[in-house]
Amino acid sequence: MKTFTITTSKRTEFVNLDSYVSEAIQESNVQNGIVCVYVPHTTAGITINENADPDVLHDLEQVLDKLIPWHGNYQHAEGNSPAHVKASLMGSSIQVIIKDGTLVLGTWQSIFFCEFDGPRTRKVFIKILPSE
């Protein structure tokens, strides 16, 4: 298993993880299998989405903020309930197929770490499972 840290600079931020995951695959020498990327935080998540047009991530942030506004009738004392809800919607892990030592992603797809309570320093875990 490989662990690395991400340092975010804004409350909401999407960080492309493709290079981190690809590097972990290359270091593992696994040619075919599955990679699991896991984020162990309750106010951050992970998703796969478009990387060709940065407006997609902007729109995603805008829609999440509209659906889950920062100011509301939340009871959580820390004041970051919207970040918890957004992280739950994104999820805490993704799995991607590895074929011939490469991530099997769609033409426009990338893996994104989703920060919802930044700026912070976060951990990301990568586990590579070879095919039998």
Question: What is the per-residue burial (b if ≥16 Cβ within 10 Å, else e) of 43-77?
Answer: bbbbbbebbeeeeebeebbeebeeebeeeeebeee
Residue 72 has pLDDT above 90, yes or no: no
Homologous superfamily, domain 2-130: YjbQ-like (2.60.120.460)
- For the chain, percent of residues with pLDDT exceeding 70: 100
Is 90 exceeded by the pLDDT of residue 132? no
pLDDT at site 58: 96
pLDDT given for residue 108 in this prediction: 96
What pLDDT score was predicted for residue 59? 97
> Given this model, what pLDDT does residue 91 score?
98
Annotated domain spans of the chain: 2-130
User: What pLDDT is recorded for position 83?
Assistant: 97
Q: What is the pLDDT of residue 21?
A: 98
